[in-house]
Structure 1
Amino acid sequence: MVDDRPGDVGGVRVVVAPDKFKGTLSGPAAAAAMAVGVRAVLPDAVVDEIPLADGGEGTVEAILATGATEHRLTVPGPLGDPVEAQFAMLGTTAVIESAQACGLQLISPTPRTSLRASSAGVGALIRAAWDAGATSVAIGLGGVACTDGGTGLVAELGARFVDADGEVVGPGELDRVVSVDLTGLDPRVTSTSFVAATDVTNPLLGPTGAAAVYGPQKGAGPDEVALLDQGLATVANVVESAVDGEPLRERPGAGAAGGLGWGLMALLGAEVRPGGDLVMDLIGLPDALKQADLVLTGEGKLDAQSRYGKGPVALAELAATHGLPTIAVAGMVDPEGREGTGFAAVWSLVEEVGGEAALHETAASLTEVTAGAVRHWREQR
């Protein structure tokens, strides 16, 4: 929430924009706890609470915190069973999390599920977004159970992937695909701009591709990984011949979300952007920073992965272009989370209040450590 009140002359304006503390606090709850800490030290400060996300879990929640409209519906889950999902409408832009429809958290992964899981539910969310008036759709990638190259999604929108007998082919059998029929694709595709949000840079295929790198965490053994990779290669060959477009399999992000990144680019013309950057634009952080004196951010853990498109580091980079210091307050901090991240200072709940309090009294601990961080910043000014 952005506070529109002008600050006192000579006062301080603070942007509080944390990501979720996974397993303990949502982004909005973390922002509220940090704001209390700021006001304990700077009672006259104007505090803008703007929960952050990076395109993965918590992205829709961050958009809703800006006043966007929530839509809830039932869609096919990764194995076809109905699941409840939500998306946000910000004007005519719909924001979707793919994991809400086909997330790994929705199943118990096994070798069989690694082959059966589909992205069809994401297609159902897109259709619902169209019905709600969307002309632009942002899709957060990551955390999915499927490795279907987005074929389930576009099949839900009217495409058909068929074998030599003209039979429709589903996930786990993509190596049988010989042609794709796009004549039934919903015409709204051509009037919609799609953008995919991910911090993953993997290509679609090979040893660093969608199946090899992420298949095992979805339950795939060596045989399933080989079958999934072959299926993705087959579909890529068929689709790229059918649409006569530029080969996209090597593009950074093509291997995101089980190849969903590639499918969105190749079949829906999507742009792929770093998740943190996209979400910051959607929630208005660039404008908020123009008026700020200090930026506070954080997440559950700062580590080596934080440097690759994660929200807090992306925010620090953006704040630096405005000449603003960014202080991070995280649950845990690895050494790699301090180096090369662009933060003016990094504080750890575990180091300041201990592991028990950090885990079981996260909100209170976050308030306390944030107050200490702001007090130190004030003394150093």
Structure 2
Amino acid sequence: MRVVIAPDKFKGSLTAVEAAEAIGAGVRDAVPDAEVTLCPVADGGEGTLDVLLAAGGKRVDLRVSGPLSEQVDAWYVLLDGAAYIESARACGIEYVTPSPAVALAAHTYGVGELIGHALTGGASRIVLTVGGTASTDGGSGMLRALGAQVLDSSGAHTALGGGALGGVATVELAAVRERLGDTTVRVATDVTNPLLGPNGAAAVFGPQKGAGPREVEQLEAALRAWADALHRAGTIALGDVPSAGAGGGVSGGAMAALGARAESGFHLVVELTGVAQALPGADLVITGEGSLDQQSLAGKAPAGIAAMAGRHGIPVLAVAGRVALSPEELAGAGIAGSRALIDHAPSLEHAQREAARLLREQTAALVRAHRED
């Protein structure tokens, strides 16, 4: 029996690599002679770098500016000449306590420092993942770290942070373009929100970062001023471009000034994990993530894995921290059966604390039930 194991992370409990190992152990508990192939995956969000390390990448550590300008330890991954940079390593929301003041002040300067370090090291390609940021600055801090001049109407430099962008009049990008040279940039994201409007970065993601109604309004106006200034500098008009609002607009800043294109984070990362090569001839695929819910059906890893397996006619099972989809919804996504860890734990805290053990046990039970059907 050949089994391909391709889970995403279980947020707050296990990395995708750890989850794959626990699921693999569960398969062997149920079928001792099973041939197991571990292919941990990611959707371009938090945890992507861990998956790339498992795929043979090299970790590069450095200290950069955090979301409120404090120094933080960050890192990126080099793999086959490309630098994979996770925005949240520099400006992740975990570095702050969300509040109205933080929502206005947080910035992406450290993301630009990571990119600059990779460029100095000779990276031929940059892949930027943009989820989990504390910032709503449209990538302005990132571009400033790469040499952009962000100026008000008097020619003075504006302050860092999304809240200060309302005063932006001029953006000068010549130094950024010179530094980037021929290096290509790709943005990995699983969201399609535009930069502006009711579905934009400020309205949708600002409240998660501490913004109240007044701050959302201020950030919306600031991002509009930023987009207008970028357009006057010769970039694309960002306002309603799909995915430009991802990561508080850092995606949009990369699109406008770095010539980046947004791509499905799942498809971009899965190219590197060996899943496609492992699937032909497999008898079973097992995927999973922390919460298997409606979002899982819209570009997340489990649905992507199920679609890939379906093209080969391979049955798919899923193990998750919680399952908020009906059997019919799961079947529609190509998932034949599932187990939820929370259904076999006295509390959420217990399920998170004992995730590896529960994942192993429930995988074994799920595989046994599947073989009996």
| Shorter-chain TM-score range | over 0.9
Q: Deviations over 1:1-22 (max 9, x none)?
A: xxxxxxxxxxx22111111112
Question: Using the alignment, how far apart are the partners of 2:125 and 2:69 within structure 1?
Answer: 26
Query: Residue 282 in 1 paired to residue 275 in 2?
Result: no
Please provide the CA RMSD for this pair.
Answer: 1.7
Question: Using the alignment, how far apart are the partners of 1:36 and 1:83 within structure 2?
Answer: 36
1:352 Cα deviation (Å)? 4.3
Partner-residue secondary structure (3-state), 2:176? coil
Question: Using the alignment, how far apart are the partners of 1:84 and 1:201 within structure 2?
Answer: 29
1:44 to 12, 26, 33: 33
Partner-residue secondary structure (3-state), 2:271? helix
1:121-136 residue pairs with structure 2 within 5 A?
121-136=110-125
Equivalent residue, structure 2, for 1:359: 352
Question: Using the alignment, how far apart are the partners of 1:156 and 1:249 within structure 2?
Answer: 23
Q: Deviations over 1:315-357 (max 9, x none)?
A: 1112212222221001111136861432121211222455475
Question: Using the alignment, how far apart are the partners of 1:334 and 1:126 within structure 2?
Answer: 38
Partner-residue secondary structure (3-state), 2:175? coil
Question: Using the alignment, how far apart are the partners of 2:150 and 2:66 within structure 1?
Answer: 20
Q: Is the 8 A contact 2:146 2:179 kept in 1?
A: no
Q: Is the 8 A contact 1:306 1:337 kept in 2?
A: no
Equivalent residue, structure 2, for 1:207: 198
Which amino acid in 2 is paired with 1:345? Answer: G
Partner-residue secondary structure (3-state), 2:28? helix
Which amino acid in 1 is paired with 2:339? Answer: W
1:39-188 residue pairs with structure 2 within 5 A?
39-170=28-159, 171=161, 172-185=163-176, 187-188=178-179
1:249-328 residue pairs with structure 2 within 5 A?
249-328=239-318
Q: Is the 8 A contact 2:320 2:340 kept in 1?
A: yes
Question: Structure 1-normalised TM-score?
Answer: 0.92
The worse-fitting range, judged by mean Cα deviation, of 126-135 and 269-278 is 126-135
Q: Deviations over 1:18-40 (max 9, x none)?
A: 11112222211111111111112
Question: Using the alignment, how far apart are the partners of 1:186 and 1:206 within structure 2?
Answer: 29
Change (3 A) 1:283 1:132: farther
Question: Using the alignment, how far apart are the partners of 2:280 and 2:143 within structure 1?
Answer: 40
Equivalent residue, structure 2, for 1:229: 220
Change (3 A) 1:359 1:113: closer
Change (3 A) 1:188 1:286: farther
Q: Is the 8 A contact 1:338 1:346 kept in 2?
A: no
Q: Deviations over 1:109-166 (max 9, x none)?
A: 2211111111111111111222333111111111111111001101111111101111
Which amino acid in 2 is paired with 1:266? Answer: A
1:263 Cα deviation (Å)? 0.8
Which amino acid in 1 is paired with 2:343? Answer: E
Question: Using the alignment, how far apart are the partners of 1:222 and 1:348 within structure 2?
Answer: 37
Q: Is the 8 A contact 2:119 2:180 kept in 1?
A: no
Q: Is the 8 A contact 2:173 2:257 kept in 1?
A: no
Question: Using the alignment, how far apart are the partners of 1:82 and 1:194 within structure 2?
Answer: 25
Which amino acid in 2 is paired with 1:324? Answer: I
1:68 Cα deviation (Å)? 0.9
Question: Using the alignment, how far apart are the partners of 1:367 and 1:148 within structure 2?
Answer: 42
1:35 to 1, 4, 24: 24
Q: Deviations over 1:22-73 (max 9, x none)?
A: 2222211111111111112222222111222111111100110112111111
Q: Deviations over 1:241-268 (max 9, x none)?
A: 221x442321221111111111111111
Q: Is the 8 A contact 1:37 1:369 kept in 2?
A: yes
Question: Using the alignment, how far apart are the partners of 2:372 and 2:121 within structure 1?
Answer: 50
Partner-residue secondary structure (3-state), 1:164? coil
Q: Is the 8 A contact 2:177 2:258 kept in 1?
A: no
Partner-residue secondary structure (3-state), 2:181? helix
Partner-residue secondary structure (3-state), 1:261? helix
Percent identity reads: 46
Which amino acid in 2 is paired with 1:122? Answer: V
Question: Using the alignment, how far apart are the partners of 2:188 and 2:326 within structure 1?
Answer: 24
Question: Structure 2-normalised TM-score?
Answer: 0.94
Equivalent residue, structure 1, for 2:369: 376
Partner-residue secondary structure (3-state), 2:233? helix
**Structure 1: where are the runs of 5+ without partners?**
1-11
Which amino acid in 2 is paired with 1:80? Answer: S
Q: Is the 8 A contact 1:148 1:260 kept in 2?
A: yes
Question: Using the alignment, how far apart are the partners of 2:275 and 2:183 within structure 1?
Answer: 25
